[in-house]
Chain A
């Protein structure tokens, strides 16, 4: 168990900077997720921490130990791979025992620890099975047991759930969380699935083109995205450029949309007085009848209505403005307009304006 400090790491592939001067501190015992679309550098960063990639600059520390040039097999890490990477010629027992044998642990202890590890992932009766005889979920449990049984300083997980079906995926989230919390082990988890990230992490680092766009708790990222990229990546958001009046109070911002003056909240970094970006999540908006004119609402017309059971989503063209999405939860519906109908869209006063 150790903290991980990544200091100004640079990684290039044939002149292409995949990680550009990236720094991140992960405290001891924390569960951090690297989240981003493919090509954002999240897996590269994980493989640099694992030592599969030699970095082109910067330092990597586990606690105070400089790991930058330590080869992978001496880093004392546990790693879980997307394709499980179980040794196909070895039984579950031998797979899990592999790392202990490499460390020269005494036989009786190996037996006892492996048994316990297999038990902890709920596979006690499958110890003599071969990987090919097991389901995806079972294999991933073996992979977890194999990585944790060596009691590594850090646990690295590279999209461990993406090869599983949806139901198994949610189930495995709990299995993983239970195990890492019990072991109190520093964990770096890579995923492109935002729901997974929100559900599991202490903190999420959203990555964009080799940099960390925002680091924060799930609540921070959802509630206070620092820019349009983060806002659009976590949840879905209507991202609308709007002219903003010069600040009168530090917190409120007045902006113009479809000819009306609306009130919102300043969020994120400072921004230039004239231009801001309104970030409004579809579920935060509500629909009103076209009359009478309501405060903080904008007129528009319905383009499409989709009924999804627990909610209804509307595609709405704002008057002289962009198209936006509005979600009305079941039971919170004020009106239920159809394509062609005129409506007003109510933007709550907590809508966030961020820098352009």
Chain B
């Protein structure tokens, strides 16, 4: 008893408990998925599923398309993100401060809204499509490669931009000055000194973008109807097969996990080893650019920001525009779409609010506990905890949803078809982000504060509540808000697990688009964005919480 008291109570016990819970809700479903992928209908071990896939030319095409899409979007995102970051870090020009909203944009404009609004502009019946048609220019169809690459690049370039910007700001300007002082001309100094140090940051974020594109389901399914892609094919297989053998959907899921796994392995093993630790130095002052150049800089940055923000406006405009079937009557204002969703189908709004709130509560409590154990109470088991917590990052939403349904639709714990599985999806998918948020705060809190409390006679467990929690309060609130607003927008996993009555706002938007009712979709979109923006604005304006310091 005294052994348990001194060594294992309370943190050891809590570590084990966390491992059991995470193991059950993350590792176990993945195990089921893997095991289902190698079992035939009789339950015997068999590789028939994989063999069948490799024989299927359609499937091979989808894998190829997915890789091509991933590469193109990554290259384009780097092409936009890196120059943008460089301009912002090193130059001073009019309206530059507008870029501060970019990190917010990635969070408040969900993919489903991006896809939908670009359909409103460039789709078959789109605003710009029709306009161009009138003046005799036929735009290429937005469905397919054009739309996929265009919209995904607009969603993902911010990842490269933010990562490279952080690296540029951490770069010690004296290194460049050292290069110059050694007689190297400015341009070659940049190539020889700056570029090698920035390359790893670019590569890390590029690999992240690549894996996100591979796992992307939302834009892929909205815009890629003519291009078979792995994620969409996996989802379709799941929808077709409901009730049948889960063999093929599992095998496909395993293949997409493998692709992302390889990418992340590359990132860990190859790229992160090349990350240099730089002594934090004085970042070079931004240079003010003049007239012509300034106009160009402002123009470039302004255009990118305009494209990023456009979906926000379009959705609101469309939500209040008269529709007749699939046709938007632009310029004719109407409240009919809005009143229809609130009169006849408000459940998605309530469902979203309820599920996201419960998931956030569970997720934040768990994230604080897990990151506390990982950062402050290292023991033999916390390393494992650290690995399991980030695991959901490597698994696309669709695959996660399939694994959860396959696992919890039979047996002693049946969650499929209940709201619990929706909450579970939300909590599991956002857990890595919440943990990362909490961890970075905890990392900056010195151990001595807690030790001071213990030395003053307060037990370790009570010290956590009396000292650590109050210090973490602000970051817990911001982590909670971030988790809440991002779960509200979750679609890829919940579209797989939801059943009648559990529809959320993103699912409603998706189904309305699928049915060609863009007005209704926009009305749900406007409601969703309002719900996302409200807490962000309130917390920034009212409580002065810096939500995006860790984002």
Contacts and interface: CB of A to CB of B under 8 A. Distances in A.
Q: Which of A54, A84, A89, A90 has the most CB of B within 10 A?
A: A89
B446 A83 contact: yes
B473 A54 contact: no
Nearest to B7: A54
Contact of A150 (B2, B457, B459, B463): B457
B449 A69 contact: no
Given A79-B451, A89-B470, A89-B473, A102 B446 contact: no
A81 B448 contact: yes
A143 B454 CA distance: 14
Nearest to B5: A71
B336 interface: no
Nearest to A90: B470
Contacts of A150: 456-457
B527 interface: no
B460 interface: yes
Contact of A89 (B454, B455, B471): B471
Nearest to A98: B456
Given A73-B457, A83-B446, A146-B452, 17 more contacts: A50-B455, A69-B2, A71-B459, A72-B454, A72-B455, A73-B458, A79-B451, A81-B448, A81-B452, A87-B470, A87-B471, A89-B471, A90-B470, A98-B453, A99-B457, A102-B456, A156-B455
A74 B473 CA distance: 28
A100 to B, nearest CB: 9
Contacts of B451: 50, 52, 72, 79, 81, 85
A88 B459 CA distance: 19
Interface residues of B, number: 21
B6 interface: yes
Given A52-B451, A79-B451, A81-B452, A87 B457 contact: no
25 contacts: A52-B454, A69-B6, A72-B451, A73-B456, A73-B457, A76-B457, A78-B456, A79-B451, A79-B455, A81-B452, A83-B446, A83-B448, A87-B453, A87-B471, A88-B449, A89-B470, A89-B471, A89-B473, A98-B456, A98-B458, A143-B452, A146-B456, A150-B456, A150-B457, A156-B455
Nearest to A52: B451
B412 to A, nearest CB: 40
Interface of A: 50, 52, 54, 69, 71-79, 81-90, 98-99, 102-103, 143, 146-147, 150, 156
Contacts of A156: 455
B467 interface: yes
Q: Which of B448, B456, B458, B463 has the most CB of A within 10 A?
A: B456
Contacts of A76: 457
B448 A88 contact: no
B457 A85 contact: no
Contact of B449 (A54, A85, A103): A85
Contacts of A102: 456-458
Contact of B457 (A52, A84, A103, A143): A103
B455 A73 contact: yes
Q: Which of B2, B448, B453 has the most CB of A within 10 A?
A: B448
A54 B5 CA distance: 13
Nearest to A71: B6
A76 B471 CA distance: 25
A87 B456 contact: no
B446 A99 contact: no
B456 A99 contact: yes
A333 to B, nearest CB: 44
B452 A87 contact: yes
* Top 5 closest pairs, chain A to chain B, by CB: A99-B456, A85-B448, A79-B455, A85-B452, A81-B448
A98 B449 CA distance: 12
Nearest to B448: A85
A9 B453 CA distance: 25
Contacts of A147: 455-456
Q: Which of B2, B446, B451, B459 has the most CB of A within 10 A?
A: B451
A81 B455 CA distance: 11
Nearest to A54: B6
A90 B449 CA distance: 12
Contacts of A143: 452
Interface string B437-481: 000000000101101111111111001000100110100000000
Contacts of A89: 470-471, 473
B489 to A, nearest CB: 33
A53 to B, nearest CB: 11
A73 B459 contact: yes
Nearest to B452: A85
A54 B446 CA distance: 20
A146 B453 CA distance: 10
Contacts of A75: 455
Contacts of A88: 449, 471
B544 to A, nearest CB: 16
B7 to A, nearest CB: 8
Nearest to A89: B470
A74 B452 CA distance: 13
A84 B452 CA distance: 9
Contacts of B458: 73, 98-99, 102
A143 B452 CA distance: 9
A74 B459 CA distance: 8
B328 to A, nearest CB: 52
Contacts of B455: 50, 72-73, 75, 77-79, 147, 156
Contacts of A146: 452, 456
